Amino acid sequence: MSVLTLDQTSRWYGNVVAVNGISMTVRPGITGLLGPNGAGKTTLIAMMSGFLAPSAGTVTLDGTMVWRTTSVYRSIGLVPEREVSFGYLTGRQFVLANAELHGLPDPGAATERVLEVVEMTEPAARRIGTYSKGMRQRVKLASALVHDPSVLLLDEPFNGVDPRQRLHLMALLRRMGAEGRTVLFSSHILEEVEQVARQIEVVVSGRHAASGEFGEIRRLMTDRPVQYVVVADDDRALASRLIAEPSVVAVSLRPEGGIAVSVADFGSFALRLPRVARENGIRVLELAPTDDSLESVFSYLVGG
C-alpha cells in the first residue's frame, strides 16, 4: 500500500509560481486531481513522478523522497498528457522498450501481459502513428503498467477520447484502484472525476482549494452564490424590489443595461422573480447565468 505525500510543495519558474505551498496525501484507491486548465495539475504530477524537482517543500512516497531516488521510480507509472512521439514504433515495441529500461527479468512476457490487460494485444503489431486517440492512451497506460507499479499517475487521460474508449479507460482505472494501487488522475471536468474517483483534490491557480469525497466537493460547488443577469423593461424598479428578496445576496445595475444579481438559492429565486415582476407591473425580458465556467466555480472555492 503506497502513500504519496506532498508537504508545502511549491514550484516556480523565475517569477511565475506554478504550484504554491500544496500539502496533500494520496492514498490507495482512485483520487481525482480537479482544476481548470493552467491550475498547476501537470506540474504537480511531474513532481509526484520524479520528473521535476520541487522549488520548496517535499514529495515523498512512503516516506522516501521521490526526486532523484531511482528505487522509488520503480514504484511509479506515469501516463503523460502529451502524445507519444514514437509513432514509427509498434505498440509492442514501445511497451517492450519501457520493460527493458526497467530491467525486468522477462521483458517480453511482461509486455504481453500488460497488452492483454489494456486489450491491445491485437493492435500491438501496428505502428502507434496509425492508432486512434483512445488506442494511444491505452498503449501509454500499458507502458506505465509494464513494471507493475504500486502508484499510477495519469495527466488528463480522457482528453479527446471518444465515449466508448472513455468508458473502457474508466473501467481500467477502477480495476487498478480495486487492486490496491494508488491511482491519481487529473481532469478539468467534474462529471468525469465523479464517474471514477471518490476522493477529490481541487487545485486552482497553483493552490490547494479543497479536498474531500465527491459529495462534499459537489456541495461546495453547488452551494456557492450564482451570478445572473436579468434584463427587464424597468431595470431600476426591478433591482429595488429584488434586493429585499431573501434568496438574493447582491444586486447592481450594469452600465451596459440589465441587472447583475448574486443568488444564494436559485430555486427560490426562480420562483420569486416572475411573481415580483408581475406584482410590480414589470416585464422580464431575459435571465441568463454569467458564471457557468469551471474557472468561476474553482475561484469561489479558493475564496471560500
Decide if pLDDT at 295 tops 80. Answer: no
Note whether 168 and 134 are within 8 A (CB). yes
Q: Inform me whether the pLDDT recorded for 162 exceeds 90.
A: no
At residue 39, does pLDDT exceed 80?
Answer: yes
What was the pLDDT predicted at 194?
81
Q: Is the pTM of this model over 0.85?
A: no
Contact between 224 and 230 (Cβ < 8 Å): no
Query: Poorest-confidence range of 68-77, 223-232, 285-294?
Result: 285-294
- Min mean pLDDT across 24-33, 236-245, 294-303 is at 294-303
For residues 96, 103, 176 and 26, what is the CA-based torsion angle, rounded to 10 degrees?
Answer: -130
Q: Is 80 exceeded by the pLDDT of residue 94?
A: yes
Mean residue pLDDT of the chain comes to: 90
In order of start, what are the domains of the chain with their CATH numbers? Answer: 4-221 (3.40.50.300), 224-303 (3.30.70.100)
